[in-house]
Structure 1
Amino acid sequence: MDLTSVTLEIWRMLEVCCIALAFLVPLKKKESRWVRRAVICIALGGLVFLGMPVVIAHFPFMACVRSAVFLVFTGVLFWQCADLSFNSIVYCAVWSTMLGDFLIECNTLLYRNLMLKPIWSAVVGMVLLLVLTGGVGCTIARWMPDKGRYHTGPRQFAFALGLWVISVLADLFWVIWNPPIEYVSDWVLLLMIKFYCITVLYLQHGLFQKSAIRQELAMLNTLWMQQKAQYDLSKENIALINRKCHDLKHQIRAMRAIFTEEQQKKYFQDIEQSVRIYDVLAKTGNEVLDTVLTEKSLVCEANGIQANCVADGRVLAFMDPVDLYTIFGNALDNAIESVSTIEDRTRRIIDVQVYSEKQMLVIQIINPITQELVFDAEDLPVTTKEQNGYHGFGLRSIRHTVKKYGGFMTVKVEDGAFYLRLLLPKIPPQTPNQVSPE
């Protein structure tokens, strides 16, 4: 076995490992022992690559299989260390392999054409490795993942694999052609093919990311329109309840003078019990907030839920009515759905608070929970609802609306209770308009 060939293969593996680690570091890891797993994977990979010169010596075309070995090796590395789906594991492996191949071709071009001494070749290779690895680690490896994860769909997965196949076919063509060393332009052409494959892969990621954002924005605007229609309907219903309850109170007073005392006990107690619904009508100083709180209070009354509200609705007067309805409607729907599953009716409690804290307005909704919540990559609870067109968009809709006013949303579970906390500046940067999909 040629020592130079073995050294070259180990160096190539080291280059791919460095690129893969640059992609691995920003990702969410499976557990705290991911470093040990990474070391084991790299050590096993080194043993595999020790035999590569023997394989290539007997089967020259097997040099093209090196990229496939790189793909499998980096895929195992991501599988063992990162908390990713299968599609995302392969996607990261494709990135690492293609960038590693590009770095290998750069070193090969310099080695064959500059005719450097081994020591200087090693220095140049090390500089290239540090520059490319550092550049990748500080840029695309940190820019592309979303909170430590990739959301790779089937199309993005297939497209990435297709580009990798094109890169492998380019290697195969060069093995068959085997241009002389002095044909520098031909070797540069191979380098450019790999560079363009990497560029297209990055552009593809940007297009899919933009498409996902556009779809989510369209979904949020659809929900916004539905909330507007729901608010208009709720406003009409509450106004009708107000009128009917007011009329019934006057009718009861008039009928007391007609019926005897026994008849009054028989009929009027039931009637008065029926019009107690009027007592749940909220009065916060904000018509929109009164509407949504009253609507949800009626639902709470029907489900044996105690709803407590301490709110000064006047401080929310600057908000668009539909935005205000969206925030409280979605938040209270989630809270009602959660506490309705609690068997102990004394624990079915929802607290709504709206108050000022320094230069911020605070909206806080608290409700007890009985089950442990799982949070996704966006730090939002994973919904337990059945899959549908608007699956899991309640809290996303709230967060999107709050961001329009320069605020932010936090959720947490503490002492058996779920806290939804929204912070808004008292003086918003501007009055937001409805966002229309691109």
Structure 2
Amino acid sequence: MIVLPVWKELLQWGPLLLGGAAMGSTVERVLGPCRSWPRRGALYLLLGFTLGLPAWVGDHNPILLFLPFLTVFLLCGGGRPQARLVAGGIFYTLLVPIGMMADTVLKQAINSVSHNGERVGSNLVKLVCWAVLVPVIWKLVRRPVRLSSRLWKLLGGLTLAPLMATLSFSLWGTGMVGDELVDHFVEGIAYTILPFASLSALALLAALAVLSRHEELEEENRLAGLREVYYQGLRQEQAQVRALRHDMRNHLSALLGLLERGSWEEAERYLRQLGGSPALTGHRRFCGNETVDVVLASKAAALEEAGLTGEFQVSLPEQTDIPAPELCALLGNALDNAIEGAAGAEDRTVRLRARADKGLLMLRVENALGRPVKRGPDGAFVTTKGEREAHGFGLAGMEEIARRRGGSLEAKAEGGRFQLTVCLPLDGGN
């Protein structure tokens, strides 16, 4: 007599806990892990509550759940606020229609059975549906989604259609007219539209994965271009060394001839010219970090070619835990933007300060502006180059590096000057 109620409780609450944990880990798969256990627990409890919430067609529970659902995602999810909000709308649209259909069907099928039997059966049906969805989402989304603000806004707009279709069956449900025929008609429409709402949400998750991979490939291409600058500098230096080694016999013969004739001043001048060869001096040294030195030497030459003066004050160790491609991206993009912005300005000096101190890498680049800068609808600076589709990704790429490493990036244009400040934690990002 006592065992049966215990089993009923397990059947009622077990699926809620299991389903909440399974779907919570799936949400973290999309947004990235929650670093706070209380926030993670709140997210898991929300999803378990969503699984067990009665939400048949025409019931007001789905509309009452909507704002708390988005709020918990916004406060407890991983990633950027925009990402949490859009993901909350997508997962709401994915899960709630399944609950509405399962509850409505079982309410009619088990109408003569106790309320507990209806709830247990509905929870089990929804748990089976979630068990099918979890591996599908894990296969679609293989790593946390990283998108630009513009793409998150676009996907948020696409989410509105299935989301409003789901909410409409809570706002305008059965029982409002009191006509059984009308109620059956509304339920028939719901059984037609709600599955497509969930499928649309699943398609949006697939789109998130595809767009995120596209963004990663673009970033890899940009980093590959900066790595090419680094290796081109090394190859150029090696070519100069080989040329000097090849001509060394001729140089020694010329020096010997000058000394034999007693032309000491000419011999001294010749030695000074030979000593100033790039093959002997190597590329310019700024801080001893090979990656930074090569990139800055390349950009210093670009500054001179553009008629600008570079003032570099760099104090970085030979090795940092920031990968070389990311250092190349930060320094290269910052100076490229400065060269573009300073074109036509009266002040022809570009100032760069970089320092590693107290577990932080701090980078600041400042330059005068030759023309006013504009911001796009999302607040980001718009490139002044002609082909906007091919440019304007520098700041976005730098911001992504800073965000991924737990740092910050600030760009501002005031009083005819542009200033970029980047702060990154060292020692593994702690």
Band of TM-score, shorter chain: 0.5 to 0.7
**What are the ranges of 5 or more consecutive residues in structure 1 without an aligned counterpart?**
1-11, 53-60, 281-297, 308-328, 351-367, 375-381, 397-412, 419-438
- The amino acid across from 1:278 in the alignment is A
C-alpha displacement of 1:196: 0.4
Cα root mean square deviation, aligned: 5.4
Q: What residue number does 1:158 align with?
A: 157
Instruction: Tell me the matched-pair count.
Output: 308
Alpha-carbon deviations, 1:159-186, whole Å to 9, x = none?
1133211222244444456662797675
Q: What residue number does 2:213 align with?
A: 213
Q: What residue number does 1:111 align with?
A: 107
C-alpha displacement of 1:231: 6.8
C-alpha displacement of 1:211: 3.6
C-alpha displacement of 1:278: 3.1
Change (3 A) 1:147 1:253: same
Q: Secondary structure at the match of 1:79?
A: helix
TM-score normalised according to structure 2 size: 0.53
CA contact (8 A) 1:83 1:149 kept: no
Distance 2:44 2:225 in 1: 53
Distance 1:128 1:67 in 2: 18
| Aligned pair partner of 1:303 in 268, 272, 286 | 286
C-alpha displacement of 1:219: 6.0
Q: What residue number does 1:389 align with?
A: 393
Change (3 A) 1:109 1:341: farther
CA contact (8 A) 1:370 1:416 kept: no
Q: Secondary structure at the match of 2:34?
A: coil
Q: What residue number does 1:424 align with?
A: none
Q: What residue number does 1:426 align with?
A: none
CA contact (8 A) 1:75 1:93 kept: yes
Distance 1:67 1:132 in 2: 18
Q: What residue number does 1:81 align with?
A: 76
- The amino acid across from 2:78 in the alignment is D
| Aligned pair partner of 1:126 in 123, 127, 132 | 123
Change (3 A) 1:156 1:24: same
CA contact (8 A) 1:78 1:93 kept: yes
CA contact (8 A) 1:23 1:92 kept: no
| Aligned pair partner of 1:343 in 315, 318, 325 | 315
- The amino acid across from 2:393 in the alignment is G
What is the 5 A alignment of 1:163-178? 163-175=162-174, 176=176
Alpha-carbon deviations, 1:1-27, whole Å to 9, x = none?
xxxxxxxxxxx9999998665433342
Q: Secondary structure at the match of 1:117?
A: coil
Change (3 A) 1:241 1:220: same
Distance 1:372 1:137 in 2: 40
Distance 1:85 1:417 in 2: 21
Change (3 A) 1:150 1:184: farther
Moved more, 123-132 or 194-203: 123-132
Q: What residue number does 2:36 align with?
A: 31
Change (3 A) 1:194 1:341: farther
C-alpha displacement of 1:154: 0.5
CA contact (8 A) 1:78 1:89 kept: yes
CA contact (8 A) 2:288 2:318 kept: yes
Q: What residue number does 2:251 align with?
A: 251
- The amino acid across from 2:99 in the alignment is L
C-alpha displacement of 1:414: 12
Alpha-carbon deviations, 1:327-352, whole Å to 9, x = none?
xx899749999xx86538xx5469xx
Change (3 A) 1:23 1:149: farther
C-alpha displacement of 1:157: 1.2
| Aligned pair partner of 1:270 in 263, 269, 272 | 272
CA contact (8 A) 2:286 2:293 kept: no
What is the 5 A alignment of 1:127-142? 127-140=124-137, 142=138
CA contact (8 A) 1:16 1:96 kept: no
Change (3 A) 1:83 1:336: farther
- The amino acid across from 1:109 in the alignment is V
Q: Secondary structure at the match of 2:315?
A: coil
TM-score normalised according to structure 1 size: 0.52
Q: Secondary structure at the match of 1:83?
A: coil
C-alpha displacement of 1:132: 2.8
C-alpha displacement of 1:193: 0.9
- The amino acid across from 1:194 in the alignment is L
Distance 2:47 2:230 in 1: 58
C-alpha displacement of 1:77: 2.2
C-alpha displacement of 1:208: 4.3
Change (3 A) 1:271 1:416: farther
Distance 1:35 1:215 in 2: 27
Q: What residue number does 2:196 align with?
A: 196
